[in-house]
Structure 1
């Protein structure tokens, strides 16, 4: 499906990478287009910068077709567009070292702070990541990961269980931070370590949430089949523990969150009916749980609506879904974190951008709101960068807000 006629310099960069990878793979335009499920002429226009990349699923389709990661096509990670991004990026080497220098049964001979203190720090880091305060989240996170590994490998059983649960949360923070800063390989590694720690803990809900994070990290590098299998296995394991009437709603939240992940995958693959079914299952559970926030996953009615908007954009139905969400109750207040609110603003901008110029004012307003709400995340997002350039290509006159966004996102 064509997604507009105006091209941008960012498109040309992505398109050029597509062409280079395709030729290195020895694939013709016909072969690559067939693998990606798009037309030959459309792929040619993408490679030549005559069409734009606006759906995440489109980039993932091409990455999967070319057997490469999404980052190979987007060029991530980007040079830091601002000081906050630069300071956050400075924390990643310590996180990487901690994860590669330890395993769950092989740790350095180092002293570790009390596990309760470390658990509190892990929660603080995950909360900071949820608020897109990546500099705060990354401060000392490498040392925190190492010390939690020490307790998990050498502590008595109560200490070990507490350390494993805290390690899952610390890995969620590390994976989320790395993914949103464009270091997708580190995000995959951190998410896998958190998943392994959750499995050792034996907590079904913890395993399910860690599986969701692992699947999300894999999806960002185009590994859809494995991501789907991980969610399917996790769903089968946690469903037997999910009782909406129980006081512990974590298993139900986990089931609903996994359904949202399945809806996202279905939408990116163009399976609209499946996406609607998964969203319906999640909505039914959300009505039972109300707004919850275990491990900052924010499962509840508001987040189901937010994921529904994202799915609609991937299916090409953005404008109608955007109007529906904006007409609902205060979704932004219910979401309760900068990351979630920023994501909804960005998806609203993408949705209105699908109107092919008819609603660019609304798209610009929401893109600006997304950047002001979650600047470090938005400025390192290839889709946001693409969208601002696309809006600029359609602008009939110079607009200060658009110029400002181009400078803030580092694409001026």
Structure 2
């Protein structure tokens, strides 16, 4: 039998990594079952790859018991084998360098200082965010390092209101970098970027921007299972927003309710999930249309997409499939590729939970067509496809498995 340590990294399942971490603690499968509350049969099925270990809440339970980061179970960061994916990953060094230089004097050359133009920088930041939302990771990789440098220079050389505007652009550029790094599974760098987002937002002296930055901060705590801390940040923001009187504040309030719903789903609080999702729907109805304030893409469409995601987070395959049927019918073809790609990933997982294997494969292929690199780098896709291959080896499935690194 092939040992875990002999297996190529790309072919290791979340279950095999879980088994390795368990053995590293010198725990038996029975001990892991007792510590997490899962049955011994479930632990064995996860470790043997007969049951997909892809749900965030389940991964967090095991990570908490084994005192490890969830990425140690999911195997992130993952290095793709295709040329385009490797070029995207190669750009991480430049983004990381810009993040590490945060807060230090930019020491611009005379030429760099003379080129500072807020109008041009605003356009470039908007273009970078548009590339990210269209899931054009190669384009993001191309523009982010230079953009971060130029906005950091602007913060250094400008004064007064112009400097506050530059800080707002810096916050947005850091946020774009965070999303880029997150999609590539670079958790440490992504967390660093979130800290930079919060800091830059505070320099703007704009309360709404500070709340928007804390939306991402709440997500950091949620991702490692610190649900009380995430809830505290969310509740503080919702109290600060109060009864929203502008579309921007309404949009942000709705986005926080979606984050709270996810926190409830990951933390096993179904009542909170349902309650906050309903509040988000009310905010979306109040807006009457989709908005992109603070790059959060809140509105009726994204709320509908989240309604499917939350079913998947709770392991409710039948409900996810039923909900997705309505969402798919109304999903605008020109909605952001980033969100549409994530939606079809969740649809595929919902079909898988509902034992609809052919439909699951079709949904994953749709996600890949919409957002290729985003789908191939998604840990839930890799884990689910790997499990599908173990239980039903078919040519189209194996080909997708090769592209996502599952075989």
> Quick check: 2:304–2:327 contact (8 Å CA) kept in 1?
no
Where does residue 202 of structure 2 map in the other structure? 199
Residue matched to 1:382: 379
Are 1:401 and 2:396 counterparts? Answer: yes
Shift of 1:122: 1.4
- On the 8 A contact 2:254/2:279 being kept in 1, the answer is yes
Pick which of 142-151 and 374-383 moved more.
142-151
Gaps of 5+ in 2: 1-8
Counterparts of 1:302-341 in structure 2 under 5 Å? 302-328=301-327, 330-333=329-332, 336-341=335-340
Equivalent residue number for residue 94 of structure 1:
94
5+ long unaligned stretches in structure 1: 1-8
Counterpart CA distance in 2 for 1:11 and 1:139 is 29
1:384 Cα deviation after fit: 0.3
> Which residue of structure 2 aligns with residue 172 of structure 1?
175
Tell me the residue number matched to 1:162: 165
Equivalent position of 2:4 in the other structure: none
Contact 1:129 1:173 in 2 (8 A): yes
Displacement after TM superposition at 1:341 (Å): 0.5
1:127 aligns with 2:130: yes
Report what 1:14 is aligned to: 14
Take 1:166 and 1:394, find their aligned partners in 2: how far apart are those partners? 48
So what's the TM-score if we normalise by structure 2?
Answer: 0.89
Number of aligned residues: 393
8 Å Cα contact 1:81-1:379 kept in structure 2: no
Distance across 2 between alignment mates of 1:208 and 1:403: 44
The answer on whether the counterparts of 1:98 and 1:145 sit within 8 Å (CA) in structure 2 is yes
Structure 1 residues 84 and 314, CA, compared in 2 at 3 Å: closer, same or farther? same
- Counterparts of residues 229-268 of structure 1 (less than 5 Å): 229-239=232-242, 242-243=244-245, 246=246, 249-268=247-266
SS of alignment partner, residue 298 of structure 2: coil
Q: Could you report, residue by residue, the CA deviation over 1:338-375 in whole angstroms, capped at 9, with x for unpaired residues? A: 1111111111111111123xx11211111110111111
- Distance in 2 (CA, whole Å) between partners of 1:25 and 1:255 is 43
2:276 aligned partner: 278
The alignment's C-alpha RMSD in Å is: 2.4
